[in-house]
């Protein structure tokens, strides 16, 4: 490690809150699937900022839009209108088939906004008695870091020490439709769930779970909110992960790759009358729907489609999964995933995923461990077969060299 690298890490550690434990690699530049550290060493990014850079680092078309728009107009607040918002609405509605759009910034804000809207919908439309609205969520969920959200997390490190929390949430096991059905009451306004649990380690529910969930939501007048902040925008090989299940959510949350990693942009997409309950002054955000964000998101969505990234995700995802499945190593317990949202779960005896991530870093691959034994693999959706072949060699070397 160079003195420059060491010094930057020491300064971070001295001045920053220690709420992250990053790998000791200090990145300075990115292009497509590649990133370079301050020493000029190149890495294949297999995390994509938790799927926020699906379009690849510093995509030239998104960059051009950003610089162009930044010279013209960046922020008006919603006290006035701007010439990008209507076009953003039009294009996101056409892309996703939604009828109503609420633009926000971070993913957590989109989740919080949906919770607010759906509660209000419960009182005004469904007729739930005041302050009795219930929302069902899943164990091992990840929906963000705000107080409202961590209050219904089941991860002790996400919620420990942060209480007291807001009431009104019920937790059921992910993938268990019977448990979901049993939790529904006349006061249930929504079911908030990830199509594939990303932070939990890329957990895919069994076939038919979401069909049953969709049926139950419709039958009981429960709004189905799919958090597609990580799974959406091509990550799983479809525009939205719900397409794999053949269902449609009532409310869809997207964020992360909505800006291709340039800027925090998120949105609540609604197919029912849920967003209709929000009246002037009842919800807002200074930066939500600003012209810079809208312009960036418009191009980020456009390149996703025009550059064939969603199809590439399906094709290269299947190829990458097969290549990794063919690695013979006593470390590997299971390989799972959909599209380019992949995970390698190691055996408990393998010694933890972190040391595999460190070894892969040495070989020029950046991946992140999750839940002790799982390595998540999610390169930008522009990854090529040659790059996957090279990455597979590095995985093979590391998985066999460190096997128990």
Ligand X SMILES: *Cc1c(COP(=O)(O)O)cnc(C)c1O
Binding residues for ligand X (CB under 6 A): 50, 106-108, 111, 142-144, 194, 198, 227, 229-230, 255-256
Question: How large is the angle between the packed helices 385-401 and 309-325, nearest 10 degrees?
Answer: 30
The nearest distance, CB 251 to ligand X, in angstroms, is 13
Which of residues 153 and 329 has its CB atom nearest to ligand X in the complex?
153
Residue for token pair 């939604």: 98
Contacts of 100 (CB under 8 A, 6+ apart): 269, 270, 271, 274, 275, 276
The nearest distance, CB 104 to ligand X, in angstroms, is 10
Residues with a known catalytic role: 142, 227, 256
Q: Which two tokens stand for residue 20?
A: 């992250």
H/E stretch holding 223 reads: strand 223-227
The nearest distance, CB 213 to ligand X, in angstroms, is 17
Which of residues 143 and 238 has its CB atom nearest to ligand X in the complex?
143
The nearest distance, CB 390 to ligand X, in angstroms, is 27
Residue nearest to ligand X (CB): 107
According to DSSP, the β-strands at 374-377 and 368-370 are antiparallel
- How many angstroms separate the CA atoms of 223 and 237, rounded? 25
Which of residues 122 and 144 has its CB atom nearest to ligand X in the complex?
144
- In DSSP notation, 326-361 reads T---TTEEEEEEETTEEEEEEPGGG--HHHHHHHHH
Which of residues 128 and 138 has its CB atom nearest to ligand X in the complex?
138
Sheet of strand 34-37, all strands in order from the earlier edge strand to the far edge: 27-31, 34-37, 42-45, 365-366
Query: What is the number of helices (H) and of strands (E) in the chain?
Result: 14, 15
The nearest distance, CB 157 to ligand X, in angstroms, is 16
Which of residues 230 and 290 has its CB atom nearest to ligand X in the complex?
230
């Amino acid at each position: 490690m160079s003195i420059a690298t060491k010094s930057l890490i020491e300064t971070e550690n001295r001045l920053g809150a220690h709420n992250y434990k990053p790998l000791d690699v200090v990145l300075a530049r990115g292009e497509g699937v590649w990133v370079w550290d301050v020493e000029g060493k190149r890495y294949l990014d297999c995390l994509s900022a938790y799927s926020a850079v699906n379009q690849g680092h510093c995509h030239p078309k998104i960059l051009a839009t950003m610089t162009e728009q930044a010279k013209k107009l960046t922020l008006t607040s919603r006290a006035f209108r701007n010439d990008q918002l209507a076009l953003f609405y039009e294009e996101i509605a056409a892309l996703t088939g939604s009828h109503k759009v609420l633009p926000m910034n971070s993913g957590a804000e989109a989740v919080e906004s949906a919770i607010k809207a759906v509660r209000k919908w419960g009182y005004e439309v469904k007729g739930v008695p005041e302050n009795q609205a219930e929302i069902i969520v899943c164990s091992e969920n990840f929906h963000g870091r705000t107080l409202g959200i961590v209050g219904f997390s089941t991860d002790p490190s996400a919620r420990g020490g942060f209480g007291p929390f807001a009431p009104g949430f019920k937790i059921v096991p992910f993938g268990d439709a019977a448990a979901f059905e049993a939790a529904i009451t006349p006061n249930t306004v929504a079911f908030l769930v990830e199509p594939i649990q990303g932070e939990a380690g890329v957990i895919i529910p069994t076939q038919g779970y979401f069909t049953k969930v969709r049926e139950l939501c419709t039958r009981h007048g429960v709004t189905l909110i799919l958090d597609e902040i990580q799974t959406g925008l091509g990550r799983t090989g479809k525009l939205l992960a719900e397409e794999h299940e053949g269902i449609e959510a009532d409310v869809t949350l997207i964020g992360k790759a909505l800006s291709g990693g340039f800027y925090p942009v998120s949105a609540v997409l609604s197919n029912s009358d849920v967003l209709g309950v929000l009246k002037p002054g009842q919800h807002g955000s200074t930066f939500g729907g600003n012209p810079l964000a809208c312009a960036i998101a418009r191009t980020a969505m456009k390149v996703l489609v025009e550059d064939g990234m969603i199809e590439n995700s399906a094709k290269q995802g299947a190829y990458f999964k097969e290549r990794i499945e063919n690695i013979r190593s006593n470390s590997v317990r299971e390989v799972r995933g959909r599209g380019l949202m992949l995970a390698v779960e190691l055996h408990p005896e393998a010694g933890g995923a972190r040391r595999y991530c460190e070894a892969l870093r040495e070989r020029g691959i950046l991946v992140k461990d999750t839940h002790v034994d799982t390595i998540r693999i999610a390169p930008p959706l522009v990854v090529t077969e040659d790059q996957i072949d090279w990455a597979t060699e590095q995985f093979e070397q590391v998985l066999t060299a460190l096997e128990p």
